[in-house]
């Protein structure tokens, strides 16, 4: 990297603000202390609602430290609300490879385990901010291919609505499985993550969780294609 580019990058990294989303006060205290040693400005939230309010009032974090298990939902649900390009480190007590995979598919840059030593969290976040800025922009799909996938989402929304109205969970699961494997590759990471959560909910058999997760997925699909809340979806241009 040329010296001038490195210097500019260093200047950008001196004005850093981390959004810390964690519901356990003692954990927030520990993480805040570790971050403050690096002169980082910290905005704290104990749940998704508070984090969204901070973002609505103009917060633009340079990175996000995000707990997954929050009182009002899964931390990954916050990702669509973040400014584009914000690097996220997921924080979880679940060490499974499945959880790590879901986090990365949803768009998290890093997955940290609460059960392991976190090391110098300030340096960790600084690194992902720096790496994120140095990465080349991802290649965009050809417009024709992107349009075809958009049309696929329009059809999938209608198909999912019909399966949900029939309470056909077998079809709902199959449709969700298709979305989980494809959405992230076309820039719809939050839809893919939610489809993964739906599969887990159906496997659990918990009716309340199934209904809540299915409603969330339908809302995200509806927003993505710019469709009305009910009835036949209409073409649109909004992505999640």
Which domains occur in the chain, in start order? 3-134 (3.40.50.2300), 143-225 (1.20.120)
Write down the residue that tokens 């600084």 correspond to.
126
Number of neighbouring beta carbons within 10 Å of residue 128: 18
- On whether the CB atoms of residues 147 and 197 are closer than 8 A, the answer is no
172-227 pLDDT, tens digit per residue, is 999 998 888 788 777 787 788 888 889 888 998 999 989 988 998 998 898 888 85
Mind listing the pLDDT tens digit for each residue in 2-20?
444 444 444 444 578 899 9
Residue 181: which residues within 8 A CB-CB, separation 6 or more?
192
Per-residue model confidence (pLDDT) at position 116 = 67
Given a cut of 90, is residue 52 above it in pLDDT? yes
Separation CA 159–CA 143 (nearest Å): 24
Summarize pLDDT for 97-135 with one digit per residue, the tens. Answer: 888 888 888 888 888 887 666 666 767 777 777 765 554
Distances (CA, A) of 70 to 85, 105, 131, 211, 232: 23, 20, 28, 19, 34
Residue 67 has pLDDT above 90, yes or no: yes
> Rg of the chain over CA atoms, in angstroms?
19
């Amino acid at each position: 990297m040329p010296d001038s580019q490195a210097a500019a990058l260093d200047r950008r990294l001196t004005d850093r603000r981390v959004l810390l989303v964690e519901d356990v006060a003692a954990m927030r205290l520990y993480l805040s202390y570790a971050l403050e040693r690096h002169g980082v400005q910290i905005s704290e939230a104990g749940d998704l609602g508070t984090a969204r309010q901070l973002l609505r009032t103009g917060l633009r974090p340079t990175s996000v430290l995000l707990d997954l298990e929050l009182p009002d939902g899964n931390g990954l649900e916050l990702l669509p609300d973040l400014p584009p390009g914000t690097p996220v480190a997921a924080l979880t007590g679940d060490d499974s490879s499945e959880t790590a995979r879901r986090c990365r598919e949803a768009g998290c840059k890093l997955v940290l385990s609460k059960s392991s030593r976190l090391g110098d969290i300030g340096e960790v976040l600084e690194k992902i901010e720096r790496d994120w800025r140095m990465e080349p922009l991802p290649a965009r799909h050809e417009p024709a291919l992107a349009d075809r996938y958009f049309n696929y989402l329009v059809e999938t929304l209608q198909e999912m609505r019909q399966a949900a109205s029939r309470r056909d969970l077998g079809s709902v699961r199959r449709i969700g499985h298709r979305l989980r494997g494809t959405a992230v590759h076309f820039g719809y990471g939050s839809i893919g993550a939610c489809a993964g959560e739906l599969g887990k909910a159906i496997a659990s058999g918990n009716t309340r969780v199934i209904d809540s997760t299915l409603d969330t997925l339908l809302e995200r699909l509806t927003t993505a294609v710019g469709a009305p809340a009910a009835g036949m979806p209409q073409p649109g241009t909004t992505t999640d």
